[in-house]
Each structure stands twice: as structure tokens, then as C-alpha cells.
Amino acid sequence: MRRSDVDFAQLYREQMARSGRARKPASAWDERARKLRGRMTSGTYAADFIARMDLEGVETLLDVGCGPGTIGVPLARRLRRVYGLDYSPMMLEVLMENAAAHGVDNVVPVLRAWEDDWSDLPRCDIAVASRSTAVEDMAAAIEKLNAHARKRVYMTTLVGGQFVDPEIAALLGRRQEPFPDYIYVVNILYSMGIHPRLDYIELPSRLAGTRDFAEFAERVAWSFGELQPEELERLRQWYAADPERSRRGGAPMRWALIDWEPPP
């Protein structure tokens, strides 16, 4: 079989279906928006992401799945306009609070999901999809990004397809089929005749740095759903057995940073 015979877009859709995890509703992100606001400036992710961007001649940015403005708000001082797109109304409210706190008034909130009609959105110099690409149809998402970016697209997607250390899933007896990871995206772009650049950003586990077991269990439940009493007990034993491991939250996360020039 030749590479050109492989339908990577279909393979992605099949793997996403096998993962069996539906996208969280906007209401779930509404509930977390305030907590995420405080984390916007913590850690090195935004700085690492922005450091890898080519902003020469760039005036406008479309930030898809913008959340509290982790990428868009720090860039707003350097650009003429930033459009922050999210399907959570509360996340957009927090986005604007963060913009005001940073003294910028050129951020425009847009209530929109990946699956919605984007025909009224402007074409910007750059489109960004930062940690917001757990979509059912990656090829369709890429087409939308290409249609709304003149110069370049930047995307981060999971390496390994797991948001939480697989050891935690095994501990809970909730082994999960992984999400399609970054290599699907690279191959879909290749099949479109696009040759992307690839880099990596490594971060502590999303379970890292919790103050106590209650907060740790809350973060685990965000990924796996409500925990049963026996699951909580196994998790408590794991947490107590190795305080340093618990502080780290297990294995670190790696994000693939993929960027490319959209077709003219």
C-alpha cells in the first residue's frame, strides 16, 4: 500500500470514535472558567508557545478555543486585533476580564464552536488552536483554520493521546482508548500537500501541584468522571504512598506544536 492510498482523515475519525469520550459541554467549561483564570500566567506553556511563533508583519490573530486568553491576551499588546473564539460564554467573560487586567482593549470575544458556521469570521494573519483540538473531524478543523489564516497556523495537540498518566487510569480500572495524537495531524497535513514544522512543549502533569488529596481527586474526576468510593480509596492509597510522585501528578504531559503555512 502506498502512503497516498491511506485516508488519514478517516483513521483519525475512527480513533476519535474509539476513544469514546464526547466533548465536554459548554456548561462544564463555564464552571471551570474562574479557576482557569488564575492559571493563565502560571507555568511556562504560553511563553514556550509564543517564543516559537513568527510574528513578523502580523497584525491580527484568531485564537480558536481561546479559554481565558492564555495565548491571545499576552499577544494583544503586539497586535492590532485579537479575536478570541470559544463555545463557553463564561470563558469569554473571563477572557475579557483578563484583557482588561492586562490593559488591552483590542480583544474581541466570539461565541462559537468548531462545528459552527465561521463564514462571518474575519481572515486573520495567524490562526492559533492551542490545546483545543479534541475535535471529531480533524481534516475539517484544519480546513477552517486554513480558510481563516493568511500567513500561518499554529496548533498544539497531545503526544500519546492521554491527558492523564495511564497509570492513574489503570489504578482506577478505567483504561481508556487514547485520543488520536499529533502524528495523525501531521499525516493529514501531508495528505493535503502541506509540510508542517514540528516541535514539542513538555509540561508537568495536569494533576501536579495540588494542595491536598481533595484537590487531586477533583482533577482526576474532571478527566474520568465521578469517582466511586472504591476508586477514591485506591487513589488515596496511591497519593499517600509517594508524596513526591503525588506532587508531580505522575508522568509529565507533552504537547506537539505543529505550524504551517496555509495554502494560498
What pTM was computed for the model?
A: 0.84
Whose cell is 497516498? That residue is 4
Closest CA to 216 of 234, 237, 235, 241: 235
Helix (H, G, I), strand (E, B) or coil at 67: coil
Specify the pLDDT at position 40.
Answer: 57
> In this structure, what DSSP letter does residue 23 have?
P
Closest CA to 87 of 48, 115, 122, 59: 115
Specify the pLDDT at position 107.
Answer: 98
Residue 112 falls in which region: left (phi positive, over 0), alpha (psi -120 to 50) or beta: beta
Residue 163's φ and ψ, nearest 5 degrees, are -85, -20
pLDDT, tens digit only, all 264 positions of the chain: 676 778 999 999 999 999 877 777 888 887 777 777 666 555 789 999 999 999 999 999 999 999 999 999 999 999 999 999 999 999 999 999 999 999 999 999 999 999 999 999 999 999 999 999 999 999 999 999 999 999 999 999 999 887 777 788 888 887 778 889 999 999 999 999 999 999 999 988 878 888 899 998 888 888 788 889 899 999 899 889 888 888 887 778 899 999 999 998
